């Protein structure tokens, strides 16, 4: 089956789905609420320097101040190159949204301190490397990177790198040699995957374009002084063309006339050979419905994901980490328990790797596999997980399985997760994910009745307004308790159902 890029573009929201073998593997959403900031460059002002955290808060003109770690501050080219060597950086990060912040993982134990580099009130050029998350502001870097279709310009680093996905050694050397010949001094470039087979003329033209763009950004930086944006990253549709529309993708389908025109203009400039692979969708039903994507989005918001064997995984995000639990479910196996558990775990590995990529889950992740007795089986599950995650563009780090059957891993967080973007805490249960049982609510009501009636001296009836479900429980299951309460309070209790009440809500009046 062909790989496809499906784009649903509307004025209020644009959604991009990468489909491989008829399966949605990546989903990107951009709304006009301004949450998609990654890659944009700002003139920032240092608001506060925190030596104890080796970080600084930066005003970039947004509602919430952003933060900048010491390892993300550009001091001089030699130290940056040293960091890159130590961290084995230099090849393409291959992240869709941007390559901003590729150096952000440099060791915090560098030889310089944040207070030596920044001061309050200082103006600095920064780029957003990570979107705001929860109560945290955006993460910034001063290691600017400007991605094109074939090249990435890194003006603060004197380095040439070639994407790891270009495996042919001769081609890698050819591309590196071309860049060494045409690039200016003290300016870094990365050759992207789509550059494989590209001519020197094409690379030279794109390099000139990126250098002109960088020159314009520097000029805007010098002209002003107030915090604000200097360069806005491309729209999500054009980023999809630039970063995802590779030779592995057979066609791009978009349902917007305006978006189609923008893409054709962009492709005409940077990749004219792809023009015939772009289609304008004009079908009667919504494009994501026609391609079966809408249903996959709904499934991606559920906690439970079923396996073909009958087992399932449960994905539970928390504020600090994401927990994934593997269960056999209805799968009982054929031979013995160890074989049943191993098969479930191996099947779960592929589903976990898929869900992490689809839901864009980042940060610390703990996977609770079903306990296996044989060490060889644990190693097999661990190696399969590493292999499954090797296709993921986001950087991952995986630790071997512990004796308790746990695997701890991290996945680089850049964009907001699908769950955070499309959902919000339940205002009924206040984000707990559970509700009090009906019996618990009834017994809380009885205790409140005792408190209320203890301070009321008259002998009038007591009226209790409750949700219909609670009213039904009181009448059918707690009738004896109500009679006993009436005797002890020496008052008649009148229960009234209120359809608009939340199940945990009730009122007592006399």
211 to each of 177, 253, 282, 427, how far by Cα in Å? 19, 31, 39, 50
Every domain of the chain and the residues it spans: 3-33+237-294, 41-232, 303-414, 438-509
Q: Which CATH class is domain 41-232?
A: mainly beta
Residue 287: per-residue pLDDT? 94
Residue 274: per-residue pLDDT? 86
Give the DSSP per-residue string, 459-487. Answer: ---EEEEE-HHHHHHHHHTSHHHHHHHHH
Which tokens sit at 297? 């989005």
Distance between CA 134 and CA 130 in Å, rounded?
Answer: 12
Distance between CA 75 and CA 83 in Å, rounded?
Answer: 12
Positions of the chain with pLDDT lower than 70, given as ranges: 1, 32-36, 74-111, 134, 332-334, 454-459
Burial label, 29 (beta-carbon count in 10 A; 0-12, 13-18, 19+): buried
Residue 93: per-residue pLDDT? 47
Distance between CA 46 and CA 118 in Å, rounded?
Answer: 7
Residue 409: per-residue pLDDT? 96
Residue 314: per-residue pLDDT? 95
Residue 318: per-residue pLDDT? 85
Residue (of 97, 29, 127, 414) closest to 243 by Cα position:
97
Residue 454: per-residue pLDDT? 67
Beta bridge partners of 6: 17, 253
> What's the pTM value of the predicted model, to 2 decimals?
0.76
* Radius of gyration (C-alpha) of the chain in whole angstroms: 29
- Per the prediction, the chain carries an average pLDDT of 85
Residue 163: per-residue pLDDT? 87
Candidates 3.90.550.10, 3.30.420.60, 3.30.420.40, 3.30.70.940; CATH matching 3-33+237-294: 3.30.420.60
Distance between CA 26 and CA 161 in Å, rounded?
Answer: 26
The yes or no reply on domain 438-509 and CATH 3.50.50.60 is no
């Amino acid at each position: 089956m062909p790989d496809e890029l499906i784009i649903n573009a509307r004025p209020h929201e644009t959604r991009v789905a990468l489909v491989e073998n008829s399966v949605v593997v990546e989903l990107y959403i951009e709304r006009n609420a301004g949450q998609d900031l990654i890659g944009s460059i700002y003139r920032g002002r240092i608001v506060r320097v925190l030596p104890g955290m080796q970080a600084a808060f930066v005003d970039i003109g947004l509602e919430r101040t952003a933060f900048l770690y010491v390892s993300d501050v550009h001091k001089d080219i030699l130290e940056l190159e040293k960091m890159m060597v130590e961290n084995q950086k230099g090849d393409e990060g291959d992240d869709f949204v941007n390559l901003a912040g590729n150096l952000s993982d440099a060791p915090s134990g560098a030889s310089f301190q944040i207070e030596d580099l920044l001061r309050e009130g200082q103006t600095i050029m920064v780029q957003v490397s990570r979107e705001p998350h929860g109560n945290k502001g955006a993460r910034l870097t001063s290691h600017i990177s400007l991605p094109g279709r074939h090249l990435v310009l890194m003006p603060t680093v004197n380095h040439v790198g070639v994407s790891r996905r270009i495996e042919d050694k001769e081609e890698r050397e050819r591309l590196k040699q071309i860049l060494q010949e045409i690039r200016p001094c003290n300016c870094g470039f990365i050759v992207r995957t789509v550059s494989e087979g590209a001519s020197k003329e094409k690379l030279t033209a794109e390099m000139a374009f990126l250098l002109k763009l960088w020159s314009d950004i520097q000029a805007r930086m010098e002209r002003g002084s107030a915090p604000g944006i200097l360069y806005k990253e491309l729209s999500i549709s054009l980023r999809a063309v630039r970063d995802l529309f590779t030779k592995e993708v057979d066609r791009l389908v978009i349902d917007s006339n305006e978006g189609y025109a923008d893409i054709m203009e962009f492709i005409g400039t940077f990749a004219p050979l792809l023009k015939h692979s772009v289609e304008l969708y004009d079908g009667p039903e919504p494009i994501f419905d026609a391609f079966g994507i809408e249903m996959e989005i709904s499934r991606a918001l559920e906690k439970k994901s079923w396996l073909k064997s009958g087992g399932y995984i449960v994905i539970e995000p928390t504020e600090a980490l994401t927990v994934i639990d593997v269960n056999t479910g209805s799968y009982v196996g054929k031979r013995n328990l160890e074989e049943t558990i191993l098969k479930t775990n191996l099947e779960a590995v592929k589903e976990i790797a898929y869900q992490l990529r689809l839901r864009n889950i980042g940060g610390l992740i703990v996977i609770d596999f079903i306990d296996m007795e044989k060490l060889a089986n644990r190693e097999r599950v661990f190696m399969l997980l590493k292999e499954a995650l090797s296709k993921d563009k986001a950087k991952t780090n995986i630790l071997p399985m512990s004796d308790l059957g746990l695997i701890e891993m991290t996945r680089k967080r850049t964009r907001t997760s699908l769950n955070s973007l499309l959902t919000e805490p339940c205002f009924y249960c206040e984000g707990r994910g559970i509700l009090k049982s009906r019996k618990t609510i009834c017994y809380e009501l009885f205790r409140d009745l005792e408190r209320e009636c203890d301070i009321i001296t008259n002998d009038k009836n007591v009226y209790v307004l409750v949700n219909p479900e609670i009213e039904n429980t009181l009448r059918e299951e707690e009738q004896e308790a109500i009679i006993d309460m009436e005797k002890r309070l020496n008052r008649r209790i009148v229960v009234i159902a209120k359809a608009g009440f939340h199940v945990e809500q009730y009122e007592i009046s006399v």
